[in-house]
Chain A
Amino acid sequence: MTLPVETIPVGLSGSQAVAQAMRQINPDVVAAYPITPSTNIVEKFSEFAANGEVDTEFLAVESEHSAMSACIAAAAAGARAHTVTSSQGLAFMWEALYVASGLRLPIVLHAANRALSAPLSIFGEHSDTMGARDSGWVQLYAENGQEAYDNALMAVRIAEHPDVMLPVLETQDGYTVSHSMERIELLPDDAARRFVGAYQPRYSLLDTRNPISLGNIVSPAHLFEMKRQVAEAMDKALEVIASVGQEFQHLTGRSHGLIEGYCLEDAEVVMVLLGATAGTARVAVDSLRAQGKPVGLLKIRSFRPFPVQQVAEALQGKAAVAAMDKAFSFGASGGPLFQDVCAALHRNGICIPLVNYVYGIGGREAMPTDLVQVFSDLERGAERGWSETSIRYLALRE
């Protein structure tokens, strides 16, 4: 198959790959504050800005709260505004995240996942982005540096789509992806720019011919409807993510949908997860398949909006499923991914054993042997039934 463009292979870390995407996107404004492990993304981008390789107005703000506030102001003025953060930085932006989505500003946030303090951990897990799952931001999880680069470019198209007009968070696992070097196929600059296109803001505070007021107080008579609009945009985002992914596939040959299955069709037991651990899980699946075990993997790329129908269809008829959470949701029935998978199944009348594993907290590596163990547990459970389905903690010293 010949592709329309010839990509450029480079050895880059996940952070550097996203920095390249940002360079090609050339946002009008980047306001950011550094935090491990996403620092390298914005650090690299600031070099591009200093060297005049982008036209971006680069604001080295005093905090992440300021970063998001500045992005909101810039986006409200009709600018393409991006930022970069992790962990406490994302948490510090929390109130502003809701402002961004409520004002329907297509800001893109490039994240590298990291644990939330306290106690302090700089290592990768999903607590930070999970804390923002109700904020009205689209969330895309990358398995590796290539996907992070691809998601960074597609994020702009998704956010700015007229049916969506929502901010998008695209993330990669901290350290595991952000600090690991891979072969990345970069699009040529002009192809990336053509794909991303020009920003057509729906409205702008600087458009004096069409004056608007933004961030107004709203009475109980109207706020509900305005938030309903955000819910509608999230629903529409499901189609938009899929169609933008298809367009990207024509360009690069790489397919990115809402979900991705690996040895899924004929699998009897399935592991569902987000992000980098999918790569490790493929190794586990391969080794078990070599022994003739019918195991499979369901990787979710779009966590928000959650692809309820697609997940339900993919898991229908399976003997047992493990939902793998790289974050706690303290006091809940299970982790965030488990809750969404459970609801997706229930909504579709699918009653199959679903077990939750919390893993990888504080950067604890999930080894192929750990994941093989999960598949064995699933197999055994599918055969003999389940004595309990409470939350299990993978590789925790109990």
Chain B
Amino acid sequence: MNNKRMDLSHWRTMPIGGVITQPGNSAQYETGGWRALRPVVDMEKCTHCMICWIYCPDSSVLVEDMKFVAFDLAHCKGCGICAFECPPKAIQMVQEGHFTRES
């Protein structure tokens, strides 16, 4: 089995045993649509401690140059662990319905 694109079109072409040979391909599956609550950051309070990044179970805290940038809303499931763990309480969980599709 190589590290190559899997052909899932037919039982004769797909890898056996449900083995996934493409590392990290779970990123292709967008779980953001499961969210009922969305994390929102008050950047005045954020100290860029990275604790939300450490705790996020879905690797959905985007970081650049050791600074918080955004949440990956295509994958964030709204579990609220980041808000719970944030030391300065900079993160609020807001009803997803408050946001329009475009935002």
* Residues of A participating in the B interface, judged by any CB pair closer than 8 Å: 102-105, 165, 202-203, 210-216, 218, 222-223, 225-226, 228-229, 232-233
Contact = CB atoms under 8 A, between A and B. Distances in A.
B17 A103 contact: yes
Contacts of B19: 103, 203, 212-214
27 contacts: A102-B18, A103-B17, A105-B17, A202-B1, A203-B1, A203-B17, A203-B19, A203-B21, A210-B21, A211-B3, A211-B23, A212-B20, A212-B21, A213-B19, A213-B23, A214-B18, A222-B14, A222-B18, A223-B18, A225-B10, A225-B14, A226-B18, A228-B11, A229-B11, A229-B16, A229-B17, A232-B11
Nearest to B2: A210
**Interface residue SS majority, chain B:** loop
A214 B17 contact: yes
Question: Interface size class for chain B?
Answer: 10 to 19
Given A211-B23, A225-B10, A225-B11, A218 B18 contact: yes
A213 B19 CA distance: 6
**Interface residue SS majority, chain A:** loop
Nearest 8 Cβ contacts at the A-B interface:
A225-B11, A104-B17, A213-B20, A228-B11, A103-B17, A203-B1, A104-B16, A211-B23
Interface string B60-92: 000000000000000000000000000000000
Contacts of A216: 18, 20
Contacts of A103: 17-19
Nearest to A221: B8
Nearest to A217: B18
Nearest to A202: B1
Given A103-B18, A226-B16, 12 more contacts: A103-B17, A104-B17, A165-B17, A203-B19, A203-B21, A210-B3, A213-B19, A213-B23, A222-B8, A225-B14, A226-B18, A233-B16
Nearest to A232: B11
Contacts of A211: 3, 23
Contacts of B17: 102-105, 165, 203, 214, 226, 229
A96 to B, nearest CB: 15
A104 B10 CA distance: 18
A226 B12 CA distance: 9
B23 A226 contact: no
Nearest to B21: A212
B33 to A, nearest CB: 15
Contacts of B18: 102-103, 214-216, 218, 222-223, 226
A136 to B, nearest CB: 11
- Chain A CB within 10 Å, residue with most, of B14, B18, B19, B20: B18
Contacts of A229: 11, 14, 16-17
A202 B11 contact: no
Given A203-B19, A222-B8, A210 B14 contact: no
